[in-house]
Structure 1
Amino acid sequence: MKNYIKVDEWKIIEEGFDPHVNKISESIFSIGNGRMGQRANFEEKYTGETLQGNYVAGVYYPDKTRVGWWKNGYPEYFAKVLNAANWIGIDIRIGNETLDLNTCKVKEFSRILHMKEGYLERSFIAELSGGREVKVHSRRFCSIVDDETGAIFYSVTPLNFSDVVTITPFVDGDVKNADSNYDEKFWDEVHQETGDKSALLVMRTKKTGFNVCTGMMFSVVSADGQGDYPSQPFSRNKYVAHEVEVNGVEGKEITVRKYVANLSSENYPVEILRDECQKTLRRIAAKGFDKMLVEQAAAWALKWQESDIVIEGDAAAQQGIRFNIFQLNQTYTGEDARLNIGPKGFTGEKYGGSTYWDTEAYCVPFYLATAPPDVTRNLLIYRYKHLEKAIENAAKLGFTNGAALYPMVTMNGEECHNEWEITFEEIHRNGAIAYAIFNYIRYTGDKEYLTDYGLEVLIGIARFWRQRVNWSSDRNQYVMLGVTGPNEYENNVNNNWYTSTIACWCMEYAIEAMGYVRESNAEKYRSLVSKLHLNEHEETSAWKHIIDNMYFPESKELGVFLQQDGYLDKEQTLVKDLNEAERPLNQKWSWDRILRSVFIKQADVLQGIYFFEERYDEATIRRNFDFYEPRTVHESSLSPCVHAILAAKLGDEQRAYEFYLRTSRLDLDDYNNDTEDGLHITSMAGTWMSVVEGFAGMRVRNDALHFNPFLPAKWSSFSFNILFRGAILNVRIEREYVTLSNQSEKPLTVCVFDKPYEVNGGGEVRAEYKPVAGNV
């Protein structure tokens, strides 16, 4: 675990330059706006260890896999978000010496992510040869107002010398992905041009044919206000730049303002891409950097008004949750149903930047409560539009009759994960997609979604589960063989309790949804029966028979559900008995040793208990929690949040708070030694869940919000806003009271510790704070 980020409630601060953690900082200080994102690489040249990263939403490349693609059903490629043209570049040369923090002496250095206003700031003093010192100050952001653009303010001040300062703003498309399977570059140049202090570059992806136009405009101004320095344009393959020479004067600042646009053929016809890029550049350059930054701060103020969580009395906890919320809002806005949320967002290449089940299981609750319903609806429609691909994916594996298997990893609906134990066996992802439909409808009340979109998806998923189980004559029950549950430290197991549980629930929910649509819209139902060739009686009877006769492993003696068959055959060593030097296991142990061990990567049985907690009494939840948590190494970013929520429900303050800190500061403190390749964006939604569903105990029951709060000892209070069915509710939890403030005109009935309160539009009520473990 690292501990070099300074604690501040609204800022992420790094003081002093340590090249050994630079890639970690490049991830932590990333910026984005839902359309594009940028790692915290330096504007000026840096020859030290770095992971260059600029990403454009929806643009990907199908990188052919190295192994397995010749096997039936195995994906031939792994879809990857691409490192696109480097738009931040501003090379600096002092006299004949290039400014490079890897080769000069760094005397002062700070990097600050201003989360409240939405921009990144960096400043340093570097000592060059001959003792010459230069000061640099930069600010940059990806605009959420003009969401295909970015802007940079960059200043250079010679502190103890005068000399020529050569400034070279550029756009460089000669980039590659660090994770390219065959070390190839994924872009071809289509067009380049330079103009008056402007330039643009059009690049096209190989195979997929996405065109991205990256353009820049800039100005250079000296301390005396001179700003008409002649610039010398130059270019080479995949690279356009301007060179500006300024007579640097001791103590006098030289400032550069650089405006950039990234426009994609996903959003514009190719033939007008360049013109639109130039129009966009002229528009934002006319605004100027300062006005754009004011607009950025105002737009972020609205986002914080919707989604902020205020924690009083614990600055580290406050910084952690705001960092998570900030990155979520930078990653996904919900304005484009073609886009989804990659596990690394716009902060790195790992996991390909593709869509996983993380979106449905972890991100949906955050967007339901902090954004209009259309945002989450778009996430669900994304999957609906991929239903035909899900049916094709299942057919490749031998499934028939419209059975749908959604991909573990995808960009376009086609499976592209290239690890067999995940691709073929981690099929519980189907359940997460069905659960997201249920969760959306439970929260919004929008049952018509079932009629318009949801039922088709649910039937395809139920058909898959029917064919995926088989009858065991030995057990006289249905079994689920050869699966991988959420705990990926177990592969190819039989009867994973979570997978079997969610499979049966999916079939139950499909039957319920069919009944609703049949009764509420008979015409639509008849149309779906015809479209899907649905034999309702035969299919639902088969589903019910599986539900009633499914085998679930459990230990009667211990009173726990067993993660899978044979789990108790393993040596029951606990995490506390591990040598800390052997952690994390996935970086220290062989895979064979991990698979034979009892250790759990993330919540598995507990994931199912979290989803379906209303089925289990407190004693059952506690037994399973106390059994599995000591065996869990939490080496998945998705693990601590589920444990925090369940620990809070059980009134286990110590573990709830410990897991909250772990999930909220997972990347800030580099808990799992893996932040350098990107942040864990989808688990950040789980951090929000840890507070709202964990400490605040929020649930939706019978069309109403319920809260059963639990206030950690280190916090004097915490508060947040919830958007629920057209109303905005502020919830504040203190030692004596829970205060509910309705910030909208719509009245709400809200339950606190199971007691209902009427909160009129614009009104406020107080409830006594009296937590009881297990009453969430």
Structure 2
Amino acid sequence: MIYDNGRNEYENFIVTEDKFDKRFLGKCEAIMALGNGYMGIRSSTEERYIGEVRDTFVAGTFNKFHESEVTELPNVADVIGLDIYIDGERLNLEQAKIKDYDRSLNLKTGELTRTVVYETTNGNELKIVFNRFVSLADKHIIGQKITILPNVKDVNISIKTGINGQVTNSGVQHFSEGEKRLYENKYLQLVETTTQSQINFVINTVHDFKINNKEIEPDSFIFMDRRKIGNSYDISVKKNEELCIEKISNIHTSRDKENEEYNLDELKKVSYEELKELSSKGYNGLLIRSISEWDKIWEKHDIKISSNDDFDQLTIRFAIYHLTIMTPAHDNRMNIGAKGLTGEGYKGHTFWDTEIFILPYFIYSDPYIARSLIEYRYNTLPGAHKKAEENGYTGAMFPWESAWLEDGEVTPVWGGADIVTGKSTKIWSGFIEQHISADVAFATWQYYQITNDEDFMDKYGYELFMDIAIFWSSRLEYNKETGEYNINDVIGPDEYKEHVNNNAFTNYMAYWSIKTAMGYYKKLKEQKPSVYSRLNKKLKLEEAYQSWCDKVGKIYLPKPNEDSIIPQDDEYLKKEIIDLTKYKNQENVGEIFKDYNLEQVNKIQVSKQADIMALFYLLENLFSKEVKVANYNYYEPKTLHDSSLSLSTHCVLANDLGDNDKAYNLFRRASRIDLGENMRTSDHGIHAASIGGIWQCVVNGFGGVRMLDGILRIEPNLPEDWTDISFPIYWHGDRLMVKITKVGLEIENVTRVNKQIVFMNKGKNYILEDKICILN
């Protein structure tokens, strides 16, 4: 992997693979994936190889293959793959004599380019350039261009291309076959329907050919096969002539929001006509339209870092690129999967990753999208109520893994192998990892405090808070011996500790959720009688409020012991301590499971990821610096960071606690989870939460931006290797530009919606009107 190929306007915008190696196809398929939030396509090569994963996903189109399995995003028919034959010899880079190779993703334009110069067995040399993009301007459009130049002698070229519905999700076929058709001897169309959710997909594609920029009509022959339609083309190309093949495709579904009054025949017609119109603009015309939208993204969101290592600048742009292509900003019925739209990992399901690790980026950078993502949780309330009822509780018990609105809990029951028993390991998270409801409450609160969006709260936010507090009140278990309420048999953020009692993160967040809901209850009753009346009728708020008053003061909240250590749960500090050096220095996550099974790991003082640390990050005002330092020093050496969520949290906290070098080291490690030298870490898709965490490292950590009890605090602490950084944030509807240098802080209010903005720096309040500078 090469990270410094960008020049001029593309400096620190290019990610490059400079050598073809079939063993590591997954790396570039994932990190160079293309998308626009509506759909995502792994960047598999046009030609096919054993071990590749050819995935195309459309957000929100979940299907369940069988009652014994859980719903997942289905792999849509492939429009990218094609076979190229040069004088009868199939392009295969495993066997070819490659003279030059380069595959690059341009983060600035969203275009993937692959250049291959190779020698055929009969001594010809060809240069083939593959270009591809998923349009940010036209959400259904995929553009593809292949340019072939024979350098030594004339060639006969055969192309076999079309729409291939024979793809699967790791062997599972989610579609029944529909109509296949060729229009005007040019436009191909395939219809397929998900087997259980009955979502119709209509895929269209068209090809155009030029030699030396002059249009040609090559000999062609249509073929149809099971779940497949395409054309074969035969073209003769002379030495030094340039053959250009353009392939424009689109994908539409019956789940698209614009298809509320749905008719399949109409969708087939509309999608075909759209392709006919837009393909007339050609690859370059459509690419220009897409780039213009990418320009808006970078104008709005770009973060500029002056570092001794340009990789830091590339890293934050890589994060912004993927945050853009993974997010279904067009539809509040959808959310972000743990792998975005870049792989089959976690089946496209939504976790707490969105609320805690990804949403802060959008709250501070694009509040409109942030609101849509939280509205998704409101729209899934029926599934949350269903889960609560099934578990004997009331209120909103949000699924650990969430998919379509009414699906409810979709966490698989069984996972990987137990090395001791030889059986599948049971995945308990869907049953007892319950802090997700508090995470949704926290995200709702954070959004409101930063945006001041009262309309959102009236329509969605207050109800979410009340419903979640009702759940927590029903979840509490009274301990007669202590006179306290406990939360027993849970999994906290640290998933290496199952069936624990009084996980500190869970207990504190449940307490905070109820206390905050109580404050909102009083506000509604006093200031918003119509909202109060509506919610009281719907949720029986008066009864709920009395329950909160009776219980909230008796919730057991683990306190620091004589060494200032807060027990992660009732038993953690009693467990065996072993030498974890081997696993702290591991090259791949999960090395501990080569020596222990999960039951054994449960008995050791070892953590998968931030747990107490996550509590300090979210509710930092509740704990002293002394307690934070003591717990950081105790728990971090026992944390393997086997979850990609962990490094960014520890980075921000290390920065808060004054360990700047450690914070920067953790940031660099987080940056390399997907971008780094390990060529297998991203095989199942990029790590969406880690991508969001990288932004938090930069803005919330080194940039020092934090919302504390409704107050904006900006208290930066730059790494030694950075000389300055500038970034935008939104606060209460205003766009602020923040610039930080070694000598001070400069903030400008660009939009001036508010005449004054109060913020805090080093314990002192400042008033921002137009621009303010604060020297260190």
Deviations 1:365-397 (A, max 9, x none): 1101111x3321111211112112211111112
Deviation string for 1:433-453 (max 9, x for gaps)? 111111111111123433322
The answer for the alignment partner of 1:412 in structure 2 is: 405
SS in 2 for 1:297: helix
Kindly report the root-mean-square deviation, in angstroms, between the aligned alpha carbons of the 2 structures.
2.1
Report if aligned partners of 1:46, 1:102 keep a CA contact under 8 Å in 2. no
1:319 equivalent to 2:308? Answer no
SS, match of residue 297 in structure 2: helix
Q: Deviations over 1:718-743 (max 9, x none)?
A: 11111222322111111112121232
**How many Å apart are 1:633 and its aligned residue?**
0.8
Q: Which moved more, 1:244-253 or 1:664-673?
A: 664-673
The change in CA–CA distance for 1:362 and 1:189 in structure 2 (over 3 A counts) is same
Deviations 1:460-514 (A, max 9, x none): 2222222222112233322111100011111111111111111111111111111
Q: What is the aligned counterpart of 1:361 among 356, 361, 369? A: 356
Is 1:447 matched up with 2:454?
Answer: yes
> C-alpha displacement at 1:708, in angstroms?
0.2
Residue 83 (str. 1) matches residue 65 (str. 2): no
Question: Where do residues 520-539 of structure 1 align in structure 2 (5 Å cutoff)?
Answer: 520-534=527-541, 536=542, 538-539=543-544
What letter is aligned with 2:520? A
Question: Is 2:246 aligned against 1:257?
Answer: yes
Q: Which amino acid aligns with 1:544?
A: C
Between the aligned partners of 1:499 and 1:404, the Cα distance in structure 2 is 13
Alpha-carbon distance, 1:204 to partner: 0.5
Separation in structure 2 between the aligned mates of residue 579 and residue 118 of structure 1, nearest angstrom: 36
Please name the residue that 1:186 is paired with. 174
Q: 2:740 & 2:627 partners in 1: Cα distance? A: 28
Q: Partners in 1 of 2:679 and 2:103 — Cα distance?
A: 23
| Number of the residue aligned with 1:72 | none
Pick one of 655, 674, 690 that aligns with 2:662: 655
- Structure 1 partner of 2:421: none
Instruction: Tell me the distance in 2 between the aligned counterparts of 1:240 and 1:190.
Output: 11
| One of 225, 230, 239 as aligned partner of 1:236 | 225
Q: Which sits farther off after the overlay, 402-411 or 114-123?
A: 402-411
In the alignment, which residue of structure 2 is the partner of 1:706? 713
Give the SS at the match of 1:192: strand
**Is 2:428 aligned against 1:396?**
no
Q: 1:379 aligns with which of 367, 373, 379?
A: 373
Note if contact 2:65-2:196 (Cα within 8 Å) is conserved in structure 1: no
Structure 2 residue aligned with 1:567: 572
Matches within 5 A, 1:139-154: 139-154=131-146
Which residue number in structure 1 is paired with residue 545 of structure 2?
Answer: 540
Task: Look up the equivalent residue of 1:47 and give its one-letter code.
Answer: Y
Q: Which segment drifts farther, 452-461 or 642-651?
A: 452-461
Identity of aligned residues (%): 28
Q: Please state if 1:12 is matched with 2:53.
A: no
| 2:589 maps to 1:600 | no
Corresponding residue for residue 56 of structure 1: 58
* SS of equivalent to 1:380: helix
Q: Aligned residue pairs: how many?
A: 746
Corresponding residue number in structure 1 for 2:298: 304
Q: How does 1:445-524 map to 2 (within 5 A)?
A: 445-524=452-531
Question: Are the counterparts in 1 of residues 189 and 202 from structure 2 also a CA contact under 8 Å?
Answer: yes
Aligned residue type for 2:510: A
Q: Distance in 1 between matches of 2:666 and 2:33?
A: 24
Cα distance in 2 for partners of 1:671, 1:123 equals 23
1:30 aligns with 2:33: yes
Letter in 2 for 1:382: Y
Q: 1: CA distance between counterparts of 2:213 and 2:692?
A: 48
Judge which range, 250-259 or 425-434, deviates more.
250-259
Contact 1:408 1:426 in 2 (8 A): no
Question: What is the correspondence of 1:34-113 to structure 2 with a 5 Å cutoff?
Answer: 34-43=37-46, 45-64=47-66, 66=68, 77-113=69-105
How far apart are the structure 1 equivalents of 2:65 and 2:482? Answer: 44
Judge conservation of contact 1:727–1:748 (CA < 8 Å) in 2: no
For residues 631 and 4 of structure 1, do their structure 2 counterparts lie closer, same or farther at Cα, with a shift above 3 Å needed?
farther
Partner Cα separation in structure 2 for residue 107 and residue 7 of structure 1: 19
Whether the 8 Å CA contact 1:573–1:631 is kept in 2: the answer is no
What TM-score, normalized by structure 1, do the two folds share? Answer: 0.92
SS in 1 for 2:190: strand
Question: Could you tell me how far apart the structure 2 residues matched to 1:594 and 1:133 are?
Answer: 57
Does the CA contact (< 8 Å) of 2:451 and 2:730 recur in 1?
no
- Kindly report which structure 2 residues correspond to 1:755-766, keeping only aligned pairs within 5 A, or say none: 755-760=764-769, 763-766=770-773
Q: Specify the SS of the correspondent of 1:596.
A: coil
Deviation at 1:575, TM superposition (A): 4.0
| Residues 617-664 of structure 1, C-alpha deviations (whole Å, 9 max, x = no match) | 211111111111111111111111111111111111111101111222
Asked if the contact 1:584–1:672 (Cα under 8 Å) also holds between the matched residues in 2, the reply is no
Q: Contact 1:390 / 1:407 at 8 angstroms: preserved in 2? A: no
Change (3 A) 1:757 1:556: closer
1:588 and 2:594 matched:
yes
Q: By how many angstroms is 1:415 displaced?
A: 0.7
Task: Measure how far apart 1:174 and its partner are.
Answer: 1.2
1:317-362: CA deviation from partner (whole Å, max 9, x where unpaired): 1111110110001111522111110011110001010111111111
List aligned pairs for 1:645-684, cutoff 5 A: 645-669=652-676, 673-684=680-691
- Any gaps of 5 or more consecutive residues in structure 1? 67-76, 771-776
State the Cα distance separating 1:63 from its structure 2 match: 3.5
Question: Matched residues in 2 for 1:546 and 1:224: separation?
Answer: 76
Counterpart of 1:665 in 2: which secondary structure?
Answer: helix
Cross-structure match for 1:295: 289
**Alignment partner, residue 218 of structure 1:** 207
Structure 2, unmatched stretches of 5+, are: 7-11, 414-426
Q: Aligned equivalents of 2:43 and 2:227: distance in 1? A: 22
SS in 1 for 2:84: strand
Tell me how far apart the structure 2 counterparts of residues 582 and 439 of structure 1 sit (CA, whole Å). 36
What secondary structure does 1:545 align onto? helix
Give the deviation of 1:64 after TM superposition.
3.6
CA deviation string 1:77-126 (max 9, x = no partner):
41211111101123211122211223333332111110111111111123
Partner of 1:725: 732
1:135 aligns with 2:127: yes
CA contact (8 A) 1:37 1:347 kept: yes
Match of 2:471, as an amino acid? F
SS at match of 1:424: helix
Residue pair 1:6, 1:14 contacting (<8 A) in 2 also? no
> Distance between the aligned counterparts of 2:154 and 2:558, measured in 1?
77
Query: For the residues of structure 2 that align with 1:60 and 1:365, how far apart are their CA atoms?
Result: 26
Conservation of the 8 A alpha-carbon contact between 2:126 and 2:150:
yes
Matching residue of 1:155: 147
Using a 3 Å threshold, how does the CA distance of structure 1 residues 572 and 403 change in structure 2: closer, same or farther? same
* Residues 693-702 or 167-176, more deviating: 693-702
SS at match of 2:133: strand
